[in-house]
A and B are shown apart, each in its own frame.
Chain A
């Protein structure tokens, strides 16, 4: 293959993973253009910078010299316009750059919502470094804040503000916290933790109605759908993110909510691909969403496309779903066949409020096939859960071998036995928990 110029827009996890994998397998010229930062950094780590756990410097996964050593050119600029006919990019510094292959990994921005008053100073979302520094200055001398949105970025914002002792009122539309991913018992554990342990003023089933400002154009309070007026000098909006596609308007590349792609990430324009937060599948893959806006999917999409670009035409085949998060002090993990575990699944459940842990194993009531597991405060082994899902093990097999899955540090309490007991009590069976076996755990790993 002759040397092409592969240009990537966006230096997030998707863009950089693509560049790294293409570099491993080809000699093409690679350029990453991005306007937010000079170097790739970990977006999920933004909160830790605000909370003082790390410096922004520490959130960069690679040392600065990594990029030149791997012959990946970095360019700090914003792409204003894409000309897919001439194959040229128009940048905000009035220069142009031509490409042979274009990969758009432009990510997303915070959905600002459409409330009256969202333009007031002190109202913002959190996605970028610029948002982070805005938050830093917006929360100087702030004693009361409101955060809107019961997703992960929402809780993160709440945690950030609480780490600085700011009183936070947290508005969540749903009946229970994060009910899209958690069952009611788990939501309870989390809600109790953030209210009782971290002093968050949580309002579920409450939405923002209007933002009120003062004469200087700063926010002074919000009105909720329940009719309360809550004074505050900061409002965090975390009601979701939207793909960055504004710069593609005149390019002729087909877009919907995101950039429309097929399962090979081809857009409607020749030699133009899109991956990560900004890409939208024309038809959703089975069990998955049309737009996948998480870290891991961005990485996996990039790995797949990199294979295609270096000669092995590949289709995106995410297998089982996995994800994790941390809700204040409670770690959450999920391994499941589908992104959304069907409501028809039955579950074996154990929890301990005091220790803030819960384990829930899902299975199909007819076939007993294992459908996934969600965990609070307990860590499970990705490989093992993934293998059970792939091999379509039934719940009884999973229960007997549950010790293999535990990934908690040494000396931690183990709870697997309780699940077996729970299942036995309900089913009248006499399952026995087997001892952990390295042989089983490591089968198939590393091959």
Chain B
């Protein structure tokens, strides 16, 4: 067993290292073919393509070999900035050419090891398959042959899971990953190259961009760590069914169905992605493009609206917010699988709870204002609404909330602040679901009479930072807007105190509970 784990560790480390090193496995040469195919589709204000305008400058780059990706990108960008500088100075903004195709130009200009079939296959295998198999070889022996039941032994002894140095290293890696993914994708084009064969499974002419790459890695992470969840929670069917569900929705709904749809020239839509988590759902261009597909596009658009208007309140009334947050959602799914080893690191203090309520509801207000302004702007064809630039607002939201908060902080800080930072402090959909859960729902966590021993396992392992014990030890049901219904409190409670339940609303909130067990309060009769 130990041997298998050590081989697994080695394989995982080699795979990860290969993946990281693959970024430096290319040199760069711009060819006319690449420049033409990428830039001849970019139209500028004058009706000419970027290629036509910039050809003289581009020609000077053709065939020039760059060992450094940085130098290549700098020179390529200089062409644009040199051309644009006088235009910008003269205020001729409409003539400025944006280097939108940077990522694809860099990707296709790469040459070297990865263009060699054999090398490519080796790197592909090690990076994707090797890391996954390695991880599974670490995971399986941990559970194989052991009795079912949840064993959290040693979690607080290991620097990987107690917020110690390994966690910080992992967190740093994740943060860097998200920063390059969102803001500097031109530096990770080799990863996109590696993901190309996967994309080609869906459509012959397709190729991977950073979002496909991200979706693919996301699925791999969720499947591998989902398998870990399934093993860890053997003997607990709630956890297993739920984990299977998030894995299914991620792999099928978030990843495969949109790919298949786009391969069939249909709108490529994640049918479970709901506004306001999907914050640009109501962007004019998006709506127009959906409508352009005719019947199916229109149906899909209204499906999403119906989910938000009818689906969310109805299902949340019946089952609580968990139907989405810990059964369907992709962010939640990643948190529940990749993030499970870090759930204990969430802050349980009342202070954190206060901050949480302020933050998450602010984001909700922000997204509503942003969406309304964007809609008005689209209808009136005026960017500025009530003196506010809707485009600017959208950009700020996209940057601050959509990228930095949900990605960089939301996932990058798993090993430091727990696995639900985004869901707890940022997600506007969670805020909406939470309001319904708190005020109009059948869902609650029932406390089993007087059985609580205040041990604290429930609070410790609550990823949302709810102090479950506070309620349990008073015999009070837990009715909290933030509860995502992951059910782990109930799973780890050693005394069988907690049960997630959908039941009639009467008596759901018992503010002043009486813990049963004695009739002590009786007048003494002497």
Chain A residues with a Cβ under 8 A of chain B: 13, 42, 44-45, 48, 51-55, 58-61, 63, 163, 193, 197-198, 264, 295-296, 299-300, 303-304, 307, 312-320, 322, 324-326, 328-329, 331, 333, 379, 381-383, 386, 407-413, 438, 441-442, 445-446
Provide the residues of chain B in CB contact with A379, threshold 8 Å.
448, 496, 499
Q: Given A52-B153, A63-B349, are A300 and B451 neighbors across the interface (CB < 8 Å)? A: no
Question: Is B469 touching A61 in the complex (CB atoms < 8 A)?
Answer: yes
- Given A53-B155, A61-B473, A63-B349: 19 more A-B contacts, CB < 8 Å: A13-B454, A42-B456, A48-B455, A52-B155, A58-B459, A58-B460, A198-B147, A299-B450, A299-B515, A300-B517, A304-B521, A312-B523, A314-B520, A318-B518, A322-B451, A408-B499, A412-B238, A438-B503, A446-B507
6 contacts between A and B (CB under 8 A): A58-B460, A296-B517, A314-B522, A383-B449, A409-B491, A413-B237
Whole-angstrom distance between the Cβ of A34 and the nearest chain B Cβ: 16
B197 interface residue per 8 A CB criterion: no
Partner of A324, one of B237, B495, B510: B495
Question: Is A381 touching B456 in the complex (CB atoms < 8 A)?
Answer: no
Provide the residues of chain B in CB contact with A445, threshold 8 Å.
507, 510
A44–B523 alpha-carbon span in the complex (Å): 33
Query: Which residue among A55, A61, A316, A445 has the maximum number of chain B CB atoms within 10 Å of its CB?
Result: A61
Q: Mark B483-526, 1 if CB is under 8 A from A, else 0.
A: 00001001100111001100110110010010111111111100
Question: Is A317 touching B520 in the complex (CB atoms < 8 A)?
Answer: yes
B154 interface residue per 8 A CB criterion: yes
Question: Is A312 touching B507 in the complex (CB atoms < 8 A)?
Answer: no
Question: Is B490 touching A382 in the complex (CB atoms < 8 A)?
Answer: no
Question: Is A381 touching B449 in the complex (CB atoms < 8 A)?
Answer: yes
B358 interface residue per 8 A CB criterion: no
B149 interface residue per 8 A CB criterion: yes
Question: Is A409 touching B238 in the complex (CB atoms < 8 A)?
Answer: yes
B173 interface residue per 8 A CB criterion: no
B157 interface residue per 8 A CB criterion: yes
Interface positions of B from 433 to 468, Cβ below 8 Å from A: 446, 448-451, 453-457, 459-460
A193–B516 alpha-carbon span in the complex (Å): 32
B156 interface residue per 8 A CB criterion: yes
Query: Which residue among B148, B446, B460 has the maximum number of chain A CB atoms within 10 Å of its CB?
Result: B460
Partner of A52, one of B152, B506, B521: B152
Question: Is A197 touching B499 in the complex (CB atoms < 8 A)?
Answer: no
Whole-angstrom distance between the Cβ of A282 and the nearest chain B Cβ: 16
Provide the residues of chain A in CB contact with B400, threshold 8 Å.
none
Whole-angstrom distance between the Cβ of B68 and the nearest chain A Cβ: 47
Provide the residues of chain B in CB contact with A410, threshold 8 Å.
238, 500
B241 interface residue per 8 A CB criterion: yes
Interface positions of B from 212 to 249, Cβ below 8 Å from A: 235-238, 241
Q: Mark B337-366, 1 if CB is under 8 A from A, else 0.
A: 000000010000110000000000000000
**Which residue of the partner chain B has the closest CB to A65?**
B350
A173–B315 alpha-carbon span in the complex (Å): 55
Q: Given A58-B456, A322-B517, A382-B516, are A313 and B524 neighbors across the interface (CB < 8 Å)? A: yes
Question: Is A315 touching B238 in the complex (CB atoms < 8 A)?
Answer: no
Question: Is A409 touching B520 in the complex (CB atoms < 8 A)?
Answer: no
Provide the residues of chain B in CB contact with A13, threshold 8 Å.
454
Chain B residues with a Cβ under 8 A of chain A: 146-149, 151-158, 235-238, 241, 344, 349-350, 446, 448-451, 453-457, 459-460, 469-470, 473, 487, 490-491, 494-496, 499-500, 503-504, 506-507, 510, 513, 515-524
Provide the residues of chain A in CB contact with B473, threshold 8 Å.
61
Question: Is B454 touching A333 in the complex (CB atoms < 8 A)?
Answer: no
Question: Is A324 touching B454 in the complex (CB atoms < 8 A)?
Answer: no
Question: Is B455 touching A59 in the complex (CB atoms < 8 A)?
Answer: yes
Question: Is A317 touching B518 in the complex (CB atoms < 8 A)?
Answer: yes
Question: Is A317 touching B500 in the complex (CB atoms < 8 A)?
Answer: no
**Which residue of the partner chain A has the closest CB to B238?**
A409
Query: Which residue among A264, A315, A318, A412 has the maximum number of chain B CB atoms within 10 Å of its CB?
Result: A315
Provide the residues of chain B in CB contact with A295, threshold 8 Å.
453-454
Q: Given A42-B456, A409-B499, are A316 and B520 neighbors across the interface (CB < 8 Å)? A: yes
A312–B155 alpha-carbon span in the complex (Å): 47
Question: Is B524 touching A264 in the complex (CB atoms < 8 A)?
Answer: yes
Question: Is A51 touching B153 in the complex (CB atoms < 8 A)?
Answer: yes
Question: Is B504 touching A438 in the complex (CB atoms < 8 A)?
Answer: yes
Provide the residues of chain A in CB contact with B516, threshold 8 Å.
319, 382-383, 386
Provide the residues of chain B in CB contact with A322, threshold 8 Å.
449-451, 517
**Which residue of the partner chain B has the closest CB to A331?**
B496
Provide the residues of chain A in CB contact with B349, threshold 8 Å.
63
Partner of A315, one of B459, B496, B524: B524
Question: Is A381 touching B448 in the complex (CB atoms < 8 A)?
Answer: yes
Provide the residues of chain B in CB contact with A382, threshold 8 Å.
448-451, 516
Q: Given A296-B450, A314-B520, are A53 and B152 neighbors across the interface (CB < 8 Å)? A: yes
Question: Is A409 touching B500 in the complex (CB atoms < 8 A)?
Answer: yes
**Which residue of the partner chain B has the closest CB to A382?**
B449
**Which residue of the partner chain A has the closest CB to B145?**
A197
Provide the residues of chain B in CB contact with A60, threshold 8 Å.
456
Question: Is A314 touching B523 in the complex (CB atoms < 8 A)?
Answer: yes
A163–B157 alpha-carbon span in the complex (Å): 12
Q: Given A314-B524, A381-B448, A411-B241, are A51 and B154 neighbors across the interface (CB < 8 Å)? A: yes
Provide the residues of chain A in CB contact with B519, threshold 8 Å.
317, 319
Question: Is B147 touching A48 in the complex (CB atoms < 8 A)?
Answer: no
A328–B146 alpha-carbon span in the complex (Å): 12
A42–B157 alpha-carbon span in the complex (Å): 20
Question: Is A331 touching B495 in the complex (CB atoms < 8 A)?
Answer: yes
Question: Is A53 touching B153 in the complex (CB atoms < 8 A)?
Answer: yes
Provide the residues of chain B in CB contact with A42, threshold 8 Å.
453-456
Partner of B456, one of A45, A197, A312, A331: A45
Provide the residues of chain B in CB contact with A446, threshold 8 Å.
506-507, 510, 513
Partner of A45, one of B154, B241, B453, B522: B453
Whole-angstrom distance between the Cβ of A174 and the nearest chain B Cβ: 23
Provide the residues of chain A in CB contact with B460, threshold 8 Å.
53-54, 58
Q: Given A63-B350, A304-B520, A322-B517, are A45 and B156 neighbors across the interface (CB < 8 Å)? A: no
Partner of B153, one of A55, A163, A312, A412: A163
Question: Is A54 touching B457 in the complex (CB atoms < 8 A)?
Answer: yes
Question: Is A304 touching B518 in the complex (CB atoms < 8 A)?
Answer: yes
Provide the residues of chain A in CB contact with B454, threshold 8 Å.
13, 42, 44-45, 61, 295
A304–B523 alpha-carbon span in the complex (Å): 11
Partner of A411, one of B237, B449, B520: B237
Provide the residues of chain A in CB contact with B457, threshold 8 Å.
45, 48, 53-54
